[in-house]
Structure 1
Amino acid sequence: MSIAEQRKKLDLDRIIFIGRTFKEYLDMFSLSVEELSGKKVLDCPSGACSFTATGNQLGIDITGCDIAYYHSGEELHNKGLQDIEHAMEHMEKVKSNYRWNYFKNVENLKNHRLSALKDCTNDMKQSSEQYVPVTLPSLPFGDGEFDIVLSAHFLFTYADRLDYQFHITTLDELLRVTKKEVRIFPLVDLEGKRYEHLDKIIHYLTNNGCTVEEVKVSYEFQQNAHSMLKIRLS
């Protein structure tokens, strides 16, 4: 399917274009700049996160991919501004579902989200080759192209919309394009409940030769979202 055809099929109104900052990524995945240095990294899906932009400024080779990238940076910036406003209005109503130690308050959270959006969409204009449009569960990358693959707030998070087979097929594809490991955060759905098929997925991965570990991290904003899955290839 051509990009023009993808654009026709993709309804931008159905995409929520909000992202996290580079520092949030380091905390969510228990990583440091030193650990990432010299590695080729994939962020999938990367949304409006500033991880790719800031990481590349620091000399880290990061590629972001997302279905949203079939659209221009300008379109996505405008979409992101609307989505952040909407999300913050909703956040005021459900503040009790979140822990407010990482972010001081809703206004502080909003500033982080706006910062990530600005960095992401500005970088898309300057380094468009680092932002690859994809439609999961298929990825346009070679086998073992990346040293590490990170996936935040997608798998497990949308357990109500993505079925078990989609999770398996996507995980197989993420593992195909990495040499070493995949990290996924968080391990809970939108209600803060542990993904119901997580043990089944861990069993599947282990049976296919992977080493799998649940790792508690320092980052927790959504309540109970404080662990990641570290999947290593043997």
Structure 2
Amino acid sequence: MFNLTKEELIGRDVLDCPAGACSFTANANQYNISATATDIAYYHQVDDLELKGFQDIEHTMQSMEHAANNYNWDFFKNIDGLKRVRTRALTECVSDMKKFGASRYVPSILPQLPFQNKQFDVTLSAHFLFTYADRLDYNFHIQTMKELFRVTREEIRIFPTVDMECKRYEHMDTLLEWVISQGWAAVEIQVPYEFQKTANTMLKLTIK
């Protein structure tokens, strides 16, 4: 979804924000990628997160039964395939959290992050900002972007650029003008990953 290979990230400091129950940090660190995950969920105990994670997977799969036509199944093949991938990701995430704790999994509540200025080369943000545009107002987007700018040295990638109804973020053009005014270049890029139909574009921001 971010149109990246692991070779492009090796040796770099990468922030996954917000990360949720994702296995990216666990897997990335095995390839000499210094990955850190942050999420509001990490304020809870690992065992509680694991239980909640499995409950969420079951709930999501039941919902998928009624909305399967809204998704492309080229990658996951079917709902059972999606469940296997999500379950593996949760299991790998929880295992890594138990080993490394807060050194890799840092609790935070956006739009504030507990990191130093320019701490990360790359920040990746999936299924949050534009996805929940109906719940996160424009000011929240601005404040969050300012914080991502603060902690990132080189580039930020945000996926997707559409909301839950597959509509492009309504304030995107205004937001991009603001991004450019902050000294960052911005481009919307189509990526090869498309699970939610038409949700196949990301926003790539690079420091000028």
* TM-score, normalisation: structure 2: 0.98
- Where does 1:60-209 land on structure 2 (aligned, <5 Å)? 60-128=33-101, 129-209=103-183
2:172 is equivalent to residue 225 of structure 1: no
Equivalent in 19, 23, 28 of residue 50 of structure 1: 23
Alpha-carbon distance in structure 2 between the residues aligned to 1:75 and 1:122: 13
1:44-64 deviation line (CA, Å, top 9, x unaligned): 000000000011122210000
SS in 1 for 2:145: helix
- 8 Å contact from structure 1 (residues 186, 227) kept in 2: yes
- AA in 2 matched with 1:59: N
Alpha-carbon distance in structure 1 between the residues aligned to 2:128 and 2:34: 22
- 8 Å contact from structure 1 (residues 39, 60) kept in 2: yes
- 8 Å contact from structure 1 (residues 145, 178) kept in 2: yes
Q: Which runs of 5+ in 2 are unaligned?
A: none
1:150-188 deviation line (CA, Å, top 9, x unaligned): 000000000111000000100110011011011000001
Alpha-carbon distance in structure 2 between the residues aligned to 1:166 and 1:140: 17
Alpha-carbon distance in structure 1 between the residues aligned to 2:174 and 2:42: 32
SS in 2 for 1:159: coil
* TM-score, normalisation: structure 1: 0.87
1:105-143 deviation line (CA, Å, top 9, x unaligned): 000000000010000011000011100000100001111
- 8 Å contact from structure 1 (residues 212, 231) kept in 2: yes
- AA in 2 matched with 1:49: C
Between the aligned residues of both structures, percent identity stands at: 55
- 8 Å contact from structure 1 (residues 183, 229) kept in 2: yes
SS in 2 for 1:127: helix
Q: Which runs of 5+ in 1 are unaligned?
A: 1-27
Q: Which residue is equivalent to 1:10?
A: none
Alpha-carbon distance in structure 1 between the residues aligned to 2:147 and 2:205: 13
Alpha-carbon distance in structure 2 between the residues aligned to 1:59 and 1:39: 8
- AA in 2 matched with 1:230: K
Alpha-carbon distance in structure 2 between the residues aligned to 1:120 and 1:55: 11
Alpha-carbon distance in structure 1 between the residues aligned to 2:123 and 2:157: 6
Equivalent in 176, 189, 206 of residue 215 of structure 1: 189
Count of residue pairs brought into register by the alignment = 207
- 8 Å contact from structure 1 (residues 73, 122) kept in 2: no
Superposed structure 1 runs of 4+ greater than 6 Å apart: none
